[in-house]
Amino acid sequence: MDNNNLEQITFGGGCFWCVESCFNMLKGVHSAISGYSGGHKDNPTYEEVCTGETGHAEVVQITFDPNIISYAQLMDVFFFLHDPTQLNRQGNDIGTQYRSVIYYKDEAEKVKAEEALKKSEASGKWQGTYVTEVTQFEKFWPAEQYHQGYYNVNPNQPYCSAVVGPKIQKFKKHFGELGMLNEA
């Protein structure tokens, strides 16, 4: 991968353990880092974000090579991995930190995010009104080290085996068939 050509995208689609592990499997993704964005507290901790009082969302910041995987493809994965019609929650994960949000860095990226949102809505995959925020990016705070690659290290942790594992299997089947995954 040509590191000079890399771009970044930051978004939240519920628990970052689910989202981060899937994006790290994609061809063209240099890294997917779990973290926090969209709040008012500098350098928040997981415990602080979980209170819902910092305003942050659990997010993943993806560094990717657009010559291998496009912004539009990443958006397709994003909308596959979470339900964008659930306000401030994903399943049993409830709170503003689990909101559906796309952070854009400039006007061109905002337009691409809005187009991806409209395309997903038109697909009919999710029933209901989309609540995904399209918000100006300000700052990304990496989550604590133990959150990075959490599922890979803790696949038998109850939440991981009940929620994350099945989501990853569904993801691998779908995007594996499309040839978008790195070789194991």
* pLDDT over threshold 80, residue 10: yes
pLDDT for 91 equals: 87
1 pLDDT above the threshold of 90: no
Q: Is the pLDDT of residue 95 over 70?
A: yes
State the pLDDT at residue 2: 57
Taking 80 as the threshold, does the pLDDT of residue 110 lie above it? yes
Torsion over CA: 49, 35, 78, 135 (sign): positive
Mean pLDDT over residues 74-101, rounded?
96
pLDDT band at 4 (very low <50, low <70, confident <90, very high): confident
* Contact of 5 with 67, CB cutoff 8 Å: yes
The residue among 19, 25, 22, 27 whose CA lies nearest residue 1 is 27
Looking at residue 184, its pLDDT comes to 66
Mapped onto helix, strand or coil, the DSSP state of residue 156 is coil
Could you confirm whether 50 is annotated as catalytic? no
pLDDT, position 20: 96
Residue of 15, 18, 22, 160 with catalytic role: 15
